[in-house]
Amino acid sequence: MKPASLAVEIAGHPLVLSSLRAAFDPTLRCLFVADAHFGKDAVFRARGVPVPVGSTADNLMRLDILMATFEPDTLVFLGDLLHAREAHADETLNALHIWRARYERLRIVLVEGNHDRHAGALPGTLNVDYVQEPLRIGPWALCHHPQTVQGVYALAGHLHPVYRIATRNDSVRVPCFRFGAQCGVLPAFGSFTGGARDDGRASGERVFVVAHDKVIEVPN
């Protein structure tokens, strides 16, 4: 079953928001993913924290679904593809190589984030192009850190945005997409990542939450 998605217009340009916490530009045929943090579970175990195995497999499974759904020509990671240097463990890199072999023709670009600098470069055999922010593609400036880029709309990650949905007796924090006047922030893609911001919204900001496997815009 295909994941739910929502077609929106951001700064006058079409963008499809996926419930798998990614965005797709149907004109450029480009898939945007922020903060995958591959190998974070391996990092924790290497540092003596007993966490379950499986986040890398889950991330790659959801990437497979996104590939089948959108058939992109280019996949851009908006920073923090790896979590830390210990993410170069065999269990993580072997899984990434097996996945990459299935999509040899796919162009993969990494807009370098702060965790990528600490983790160190990926093996060249994964065929990932490293670039510095901002990367201008079509109407977008692709970044890791949210920022304003003159003349284009910025898409970024880094913040792991969430939104608090509250009832009279309870509340829950869910991943969300946030789009301001000049910059939008994607939710963290990684299955082993937390959320950072849940303090309502900025003036004029559009918020789309991922809830019950759907993407829903929060009314103003």
Domain layout of the chain by residue ranges: 5-217
Fold topology of 5-217: Purple Acid Phosphatase; chain A, domain 2 (3.60.21)
Amino acid 87: pLDDT? 57
Amino acid 194: pLDDT? 59
Amino acid 49: pLDDT? 39
Amino acid 144: pLDDT? 94
Q: Spell out the per-residue pLDDT of the chain, length 220, in tens.
A: 578 999 999 999 999 999 999 999 999 999 999 998 887 555 544 444 343 454 788 889 999 999 999 999 999 999 888 855 665 677 888 889 999 999 999 999 999 988 677 767 888 899 999 999 999 999 999 999 999 999 999 999 999 999 887 666 766 778 999 999 999 999 999 865 555 655 566 778 999 999 878 999 998 8
Do 152 and 141 touch, CB atoms closer than 8 A? Answer: yes
Cβ partners under 8 Å of residue 100, min gap 6: 108, 126, 127
Q: For residues 153 and 133, give the distance between their C-alpha atoms in angstroms, rounded to a whole number.
A: 13
Amino acid 67: pLDDT? 97
User: Which candidate, 80, 90, 114, places its Cα nearest to that of 42?
Assistant: 90
Amino acid 168: pLDDT? 66
